[in-house]
Each structure stands twice: as structure tokens, then as C-alpha cells.
Structure 1
């Protein structure tokens, strides 16, 4: 959007959402020609204390006082006094503020300071924090909304029936590299067998424990040689299994080469507001397999006609077994057409321009 507007990004110096430890230097820098102002976080998050607080409040989120909820939000973070001061002192210099994700302190405490100019991209899904009553007031304050998917908007309309949730379904565009090399990926990591690919944080919250269980059972039942390749940072133990290959966090080109090399992408997460990696898989013509626990993922598959979904380990196994080369090609092709039609920058830009020009 910097092609159309004088654009700034206001953010913290953190790189890790678990600790909020300051990583970048505070001050102004440029990223891809866009001005980024970074502000120091007051203190890192005490994960143990925060988890303990969450365990106390989550069973009674409906009855917890606003004071208790805001104490939880302070512990959630990130809290930056310098960022707060900047917005208070300079809010008149900006025509609009777009806040990304409802869940963190930067949105909860700062959006009300500029409510008359504030648009919220909630990135929301069905999780216990969204049911805390403090969000009722926050969502009322936003001037408008930007949604990732139809399912996200529908969910929020049920959650906030009294709020006028006006705003477009936008998402983001997908930029695949000009050159992809499935062969390079296979050679570098010595992977000759067909493989399923998982990309993202390796975490029980993302359904990875279930994925490991289903895949190991599949390998017991099915004689076809195949691997499960994992790209991403683990926050849980990964089973020691000859067919599970964890490569850790990799650079962008390696991710795209892995997508080009895989048979299909598997996404077991029950909670998403939009899966970028589904769009990326379709951009290179690969089919996907998702958990039916996530309405967003199933909705993306339905609209794209680019994947299947499973409810249990038997359906997981059947879906993989039935995806022969022809079906994989057809699903991947349909997904590719869907992304090329809906997730290109010209379409995204048009929706943002229309929203703010109103």
C-alpha cells in the first residue's frame, strides 16, 4: 500500500511472540522501502507466570472482572510505554491506523486511543480468550474491520451479535519466487521418497500431536514408502521415527522448494483465521489435506476445490491413499487457479483503497 499512501509500520523491537524479548534496535529503519518505527518492550513475558494466570482465568472467563482480564492482557503483552507515548503525541499526523490481530496488548490498549481512525484486522478464531467480555467494548470502538476469510467474519458475527461488523474479506496476496527447484530440495536433504509436508510452528495447538499419531499409524498400515517432512520451529517433542524428518526453521526459498517437491501439504491445525501456507501450496499447484476441526481451512478447500479434509485417522489414511497422481494434479490445478484469481496484489490493493477512501 506504500505505492498509494505515505505508510509507516509501528511495532516493537521483539521478534519472538512467546517472550517479547527486545531483538531489533529501537528507532526508524526501512524495510523494502517502507518506514518502520520500532519501540522497546518494557519487559520480557514471564511465560510461566502468564500460563499460570491463563489457567486461573480461562475456566471462568465469562465471570472474570474487567480488572482481572486487563491484568491478563498486561501479562500477555507486549507492553511498550514508548509506543503508547508516540501514538498519543502523534496520532493527529496519521489519517488511519490498521491494527493487526485482536489478541495482544498493542491492540487492546492502543486502539481506543485512536478509535475514530482505527480499523481492525482481528485474525480471530474460536479460542477461549475471544469470549472474554473486555473484547465487547474494544470491538465496538473500531471504525471498521478487515477480515481474512468469510468464516472468520461469520464467527465474529455470532460472537458479537450487537456490533456492526462492517468490512471486506481481504486476506493477503501470495508471491511465489520466479525459480523453484524440487530437485535441489530433494538432493540437499537426501529425500527420495514421496512425502507429505507440514509448514509452521510444531505445536500441539496446531494439531501436530494428532498429525504425528495419524502418520505413524498410516505407516504401520500402509506399505507405500513415504515421509512426513516438517518445516518450522518446534515447541513440543517430535517423535523419533525413520519417516519423520524435521528440518527446523528454513529460509523462504527452501520452503518454496519443499512445496514444489512434496506430494501434498498437510495442515492439521484446528484454529486458523487464514492459512497462508495453503495459498502458497496452491500457488505451486499442490493439493492440501486439512483437519475438519477448522471451519476456515475447510472453507478455503471448498472455495478453491484444492484439497480434502479428514475427521479421524481412518479418513486421514483414506484421503492420502486415494490421492493418486491424477487427483493430486487436478486438485492442485484448481487451487492454483483460485489463488491466481483471488490472491493477487491488485485485488488486495483495490479492497484496501476502497475501505479507506470511503
Structure 2
């Protein structure tokens, strides 16, 4: 095929089978599907696994993962939480001067000048560079050297960092954009002058999950009825409020048997409770089984640019309840007519009561959710849209 000789390179802060994180998983799946479509696919990334520290844990400089060639570079500075929190507090006050923003990005990490130098030296070895995530050093510094070949997947949402002055230059550099949702595109256009830059809207492909068994999960972990949270368990995801709401819900609803099951890395203190079950990392089979068996999936985050786990749950006919303050998640609910959102505890309580006590309505709502995912998130469409942007970028050079 025509695309078989095209050599593309993804640039992302972390990459690997051991890496958790929605943007990183999306990038890996994009790379693997573009490989299947006939491209020669490389990835430039760091040796870090944990975004909290950026500690170098991978030892190989180059390896192949599922057919994708991965080039890894060491981070020069591990992120010191106290130091970064201090710098970040200054930033959040709005008192960080423009000249100091480079220190914020350095502290934010992953700081790897060697990675950026590789991009600079190898710009002619690739037809296109696809940068994932606006928030990190590899994108902010690396895109400078290949802006005429750059496609940008910003993973952006309305948060304080989007107001950094340095990002104006970054967002106006690429030749094309791949947005996860239309809400993300509108938000980016509000902050940056990018209306004349070509774009596609795609998100991610959601594979049909085959061997899924709710009963298998419940039997393995000794569970019956439960709500489910999947993702990093941290304050940045608003998990603290989720715990507060769940505990109040237990008291107000008199639903004595319901549990809250947590799947993902623990990055904050979790309340000690017999009703909150911490499973940590689990296999994909267990995660999918857990979603299939949940009374509802909860997504409390205010800042999401897509949320793959929400779409997966919808595809499994599992009710979803999200934070309405996140425009993207609220958009999934409104466009699908197949999920629920809340702004307050009272609405949280009301929606969960509705999910539990309206069986006939819920069957229709679940059907809407499943059809929404099937119609909007296929891998064929994702590959076609990315290929269009790659071809456009090559012609523009």
C-alpha cells in the first residue's frame, strides 16, 4: 500500500505495557494500530514508568514492543514531590513570572534533554512526528525542532496549566491536530489561535470485549453489588470527594450491601472502610469483568480529555455516573443519552437511586450508551483520520 513506506514517530512521556495512564495507553494503541495499517512506527520516550517520580526504571535504550520500535532516554532529574509542590503552589497563585515557566516545565518533567536532542538530530529520518500530551517537557521542547512535521494530540482540558504563556507557542506550532472530542477542540480554540490548523476528531477505538464474565469477577473477589472506580486513585482525579459522597450515600440510601471497588494505582490515602475495596492493579480480564458486573462506574474527575474507561463501560452496558463539571464527560452523557452526570451530592444521590430502581428505563439507556460507542469509536475510523493528517503533513512540507 501507499502508506507502507511512511515512517512515523510518536513522542510521549512514558510508554510500555507496565505504564498506566489514559494518554499513554492511547498512544500505545495508536502506534500498534498504525503499524497494522502498514506504517513503519517508532516511539521516542523516557525510561520512566512512574509519572510521580520519573525514576529511570527501563534499562534498554531500544526495544520492540508488539512490533513498535521504542527509543528510550533517561530522565536527568527525578521529580521531588516537595520541591515540585512548592513551585506548583506559586504557579497556582498566578504569581509565577513568564521567565520562570521553563523551571515549572523542568520540575514537572520528565526532564530529558537527551530525548530532545535525538528528535533534533533525527528529524530527517521520519516523515511525521506525532506528539502526545501538551503538559510535558518532551512535547514543549521537542516540537520546536520538527514543527513542520508535527501532528499534535494535546490531551487538553480546562485546567490551570492551560494558561501557561509558553503554551501559546507550542499550540501554534503543529501542522495538524488530532482532538479526542469536539469539546476539546472548542476549548483549545478558545485559548489559542489555531482555527486555521487542520484537525480531525477521533478519540480512541474501543474493541469489542469478548470473554467477559461478571460472575467470574464476583466469585474471585467475594463480591456481590458494587460501584466501581478505575484509574489513578489521587486527589487530582477528585477521588477524595468520591469517597465523601459514597460514604454519605451509604447512610442516606440505607443501601447496606453496596461496596465501592477501586482498581488502579493508589496515589493518596484511602479511607479505612469495610465498604471500600482496594484491588490495585489487576489483569485486563479482571478489569473488564469488574466493569461488566458493576452496578455503575463512577468517574469523579473534573479534568478528562476523553476517558477510555467510561467508553469501555458504556460498551458493556454498565451504567456510568460522571462529574458534570468535566465538559467532555458531560458531553458523552448528553450526546449518547446513555449516561448520567452530577454537580452536587444531592444529584449524585438522585442519579444512583435512579440507576438502582428504574430497570425498564435503564435497559433503554444502556442500549443508547452501547450504540454511541459503536457508532463513534471504531479503530477503522481512527486509523483513517490519522492517516489523512499524516498525508496532509507530508504534502505541506
Give the alignment's TM-score, normalised by structure 2. 0.86
Matches within 5 A, 1:329-340: 329-340=363-374
Matches within 5 A, 1:35-184: 35-60=69-94, 64-65=97-98, 67-161=99-193, 164-184=196-216
Counterpart among 309, 312, 319 of residue 341 in structure 2:
309
Give distance in 1, aligned partners of 2:194 and 2:155.
20
- CA positional deviation for 1:285: 1.4
Counterpart among 197, 203, 220 of residue 228 in structure 2:
197
After superposition, give the CA deviation of every residue in 1:76-101 in whole Å (9 maximum; x if it has no partner): 11122332222122110101000000
After superposition, give the CA deviation of every residue in 1:91-120 in whole Å (9 maximum; x if it has no partner): 101010000000000000100111100111
Contact 2:131 2:152 in 1 (8 A): yes
Once structures 1 and 2 are overlaid, which stretch shifts more, 117-126 or 239-248? 239-248
Q: Does 1:16 align with 2:50?
A: yes
Give the alignment's TM-score, normalised by structure 1. 0.95
After superposition, give the CA deviation of every residue in 1:167-220 in whole Å (9 maximum; x if it has no partner): 11111111244211111110111012x211111111122111111111111111
Instruction: For residue 199 of structure 2, give the secondary structure of its aligned residue in structure 1.
Output: coil
Partner of 2:16: none
- CA positional deviation for 1:356: 1.6
- CA positional deviation for 1:132: 1.1
Once structures 1 and 2 are overlaid, which stretch shifts more, 49-58 or 10-19? 49-58
Give distance in 1, aligned partners of 2:374 and 2:140.
35
Contact 1:99 1:121 in 2 (8 A): yes
Q: Does 1:242 align with 2:274?
A: yes
Partner of 2:379: 345
- CA positional deviation for 1:292: 0.9
- CA positional deviation for 1:326: 2.7
Counterpart among 382, 385, 388 of residue 354 in structure 1:
388
Contact 2:172 2:192 in 1 (8 A): no
Partner of 1:328: 362
Unaligned runs of 5+ in 2: 1-33, 393-397
Instruction: For residue 168 of structure 1, give the secondary structure of its aligned residue in structure 2.
Output: strand
- CA positional deviation for 1:329: 2.6
Partner of 2:5: none
Q: Does 1:227 align with 2:262?
A: no
Instruction: For residue 200 of structure 2, give the secondary structure of its aligned residue in structure 1.
Output: coil
After superposition, give the CA deviation of every residue in 1:221-256 in whole Å (9 maximum; x if it has no partner): 112331111111122221122222121121211110
Give distance in 2, aligned partners of 1:114 and 1:313.
47
Once structures 1 and 2 are overlaid, which stretch shifts more, 111-120 or 329-338? 329-338
Give distance in 2, aligned partners of 1:162 and 1:189.
49
Partner of 2:65: 31
Give distance in 1, aligned partners of 2:276 and 2:208.
26
- CA positional deviation for 1:164: 3.3
Instruction: For residue 147 of structure 2, give the secondary structure of its aligned residue in structure 1.
Output: helix
Give distance in 1, aligned partners of 2:151 and 2:81.
30
Q: RMSD of the alignment, in Å?
A: 1.5
Give distance in 1, aligned partners of 2:274 and 2:77.
42
- CA positional deviation for 1:165: 4.5
Q: Does 1:286 align with 2:298?
A: no
Give distance in 2, aligned partners of 1:131 and 1:32.
37
Change (3 A) 1:217 1:280: same
After superposition, give the CA deviation of every residue in 1:302-337 in whole Å (9 maximum; x if it has no partner): 122220111111111111111133333322221111
- CA positional deviation for 1:162: 6.3
Partner of 2:242: 211
Contact 1:177 1:253 in 2 (8 A): no
Whose relative contact order is higher, 1 or 2, with alpha carbons under 8 Å and at least 6 apart?
2
